[in-house]
Each structure stands twice: as C-alpha cells, then as structure tokens.
A and B are shown apart, each in its own frame.
Chain A
Amino acid sequence: MEPVTQITLNHYLALSGVLFMIGLIGVMLRRNIIVIYMGLELMLNAANLALVAFSRFGAAPNLDGQVMVFFIITVAAAEVAVGLALMVALYRLKQTTNTGDLTSLKF
C-alpha cells in the first residue's frame, strides 16, 4: 500500500513522464495540425510539472524552478500565438490543416 498512500517526488515525476508520452503519441499519431499543436502543449506542461515538483522537493527547496516555469508559460503563450497565426496563413494558402495534404516541400 505504501506506493499508493505515500506521495513522493517520484509520483509527480512519473505523472509528468506519462503526460509527456501521451503528448508525444498525439504528435506522432494525429494529422490535424491544430491537434498536433495541442500535443506539443501537453509536452510543455509535463515539463512544467517536473520543474515545479523539483522546486518543491529539492534538497534546499527554492523558487528558481518556479521562475523557470513562469518563463516557460510566457514563451509558450507567445509560441501559441505565432504558431496559430502561421496556421491561419497556411489555411489561407492551402485551405487545409491536414499535414497529409501539405507536401509541397516533398521530392
């Protein structure tokens, strides 16, 4: 019962790893470019969870990890704005968001 009733740093890290893997599967599996983007967001958030967990459990718990997460959230927000603008531009050009149809750079 101990692994279930005692929440440790490893629990948070394992949850973060599982989230990251689900995001990775989504990125590799899906063909809709917006859903691929959501998978990327999941992976970013998994990394954030690991950072916050480390900042709480470290040998000398401090806030550096949380400041890092703060920067990641900021940069991710900017990244989403730019990425979605790219998708709008792409849709205007090709009328699709399916990566299977975006092959003009293929030999």
Chain B
Amino acid sequence: MMLEPLTFWILAIGLIVAAWSVILQRNPVASALSLAAGFVLLGILFLTLGSSFLMMAQIIVYAGAVMVLFLFIIMLLDLKTEEKRPVPYARLTVAVLIAAAFGCFLGTALTVVPRGGEVLSWAQPAPPMDAGRIGELLFAKYVLPFEVTGVLLLVATVGVIVLGKKEAK
C-alpha cells in the first residue's frame, strides 16, 4: 500500500534535484549528465503511470540519442567551465519572480482539475497500454501526423547536413 507514494516521492525529489543541478552547474558536461539522470528518472515515472512503451522511448531517445548529441557538441566545441562571474542577482530576481508568477497561475489551475484528487493505485487494473495498442493508434487514427513526422525528420536531416557543411570559400 505504501509502495506507490514512496516510489513517487523518491522519483519526484530526485527529478527536482537533477533539474536544479542542470541549471546551476557551471560545467556544461555536469549539466548534461544531470539532465541524463533526470531523463531516466522521468522514464521511471512514466512506468509508474503504466506506460512502459514511453519509458523505453524516453530512455532510448532522450537519455540515449539526445544526450549523446549534447555531450558530442560540448566536447566538439571544447567548452570550458564558465569562469567565476559575480552572481547576476538582478537577473536571478527577475527570473524567480516570473517563475513564481507562473507557479501561482499553475497552482490556481490545479484547484479546478477535474478528477484531480483521484488516487493512483497499482492494484487497480490500468487500461491496457502496451506498445501494440499505441502502434494500432499510430497507424490508424494518427496516420497523417505520423507521416508528417516522417517528412519532418527528413527535412531536419537535410537541414542539419546543410547547416553543418563548411561553406565553400
């Protein structure tokens, strides 16, 4: 009975610590590694919500491919740890104020979520959410967005190659 809340709180606290670590580390490599840890924790949260397929997608695509890209670029550009600068208090204050305003807005929104108080219990049978059903949805109801995404990936590939090419002098 206590397993669900315990798992949730461990994952939630880990996720928040990882997120803070991403934005506060001076060394971009440390930020990237914290981000990878955050992605994995989020994947496990997806699993607690009964979505094993998305957990795999999250870990393969985000913690795998996207993080390799980030680390690759950081190494390629040879970014050093930022030199110690005075903490930009003015900017920090503005950023925290805007985020706090946004947080108040979200907090108000939370009070009117329908079924917001529904309790998650792993004992309750979850609706069938396996990869097969997602595949059926993708190729039937969402076939047009699926095709468009394919075109988008092609366009992105071509665009990246064009951007990455050295300009002929």
**Range, interface on chain B:** 35 or more
Contacting pair B15 A28 (CB below 8 A): no
By secondary structure, the A interface counts as helix
A42-B19, A70-B54 known; A9 and B116 CB under 8 Å?
A: yes
Residues of A within 8 A of B8 (CB): 7, 11
Contact of A24 among B50, B57, B66, B102 (CB under 8 A): B102
Within 8 A of B (CB), among A1-54: 4-15, 17-26, 28-30, 32, 34-35, 37-39, 41-42, 45, 48-49, 52-53
A14-B110, A25-B23 known; A49 and B127 CB under 8 Å?
A: no
State the interface size on chain A (CB cutoff 8 A).
Answer: 71
Contacting pair A5 B164 (CB below 8 A): no
A103 within 8 A of B: no
Chain B: which residue is nearest A10 at the CB level?
A: B116
Chain A: which residue is nearest B163 at the CB level?
A: A85
Contacting pair B94 A28 (CB below 8 A): yes
Residues of B within 8 A of A48 (CB): 42, 58
Task: Name the distance in Å between B78's Cβ and chain A's nearest Cβ.
Answer: 10
Task: Name the distance in Å between B99's Cβ and chain A's nearest Cβ.
Answer: 4
Residues of B within 8 A of A15 (CB): 12, 15-16, 45
Residues of B within 8 A of A6 (CB): 5, 119
Task: Name the distance in Å between B104's Cβ and chain A's nearest Cβ.
Answer: 10
Question: Chain B interface (Cβ within 8 Å of chain A)?
Answer: 2, 4-5, 8-9, 12, 15-16, 19-20, 22-23, 28, 31-32, 35, 38-39, 42, 45-46, 49-51, 53-54, 57-58, 61-62, 65-66, 69-70, 73-74, 76-77, 79, 82, 88, 91-92, 94-96, 98-100, 102-103, 106-107, 110, 113-120, 126-127, 129, 133-134, 137-138, 141-142, 145, 149, 152-153, 156-157, 159-160, 163-164, 166
Question: Chain A interface (Cβ within 8 Å of chain B)?
Answer: 4-15, 17-26, 28-30, 32, 34-35, 37-39, 41-42, 45, 48-49, 52-53, 55-59, 61-64, 66-67, 69-71, 73-82, 84-89, 91-92, 97
Known A-B contacts: A20-B102, A21-B99, A67-B134. Give 15 more (CB < 8 A). A7-B8, A10-B110, A24-B99, A24-B102, A28-B98, A34-B28, A42-B38, A49-B42, A61-B126, A69-B54, A73-B62, A75-B149, A77-B62, A82-B156, A97-B77
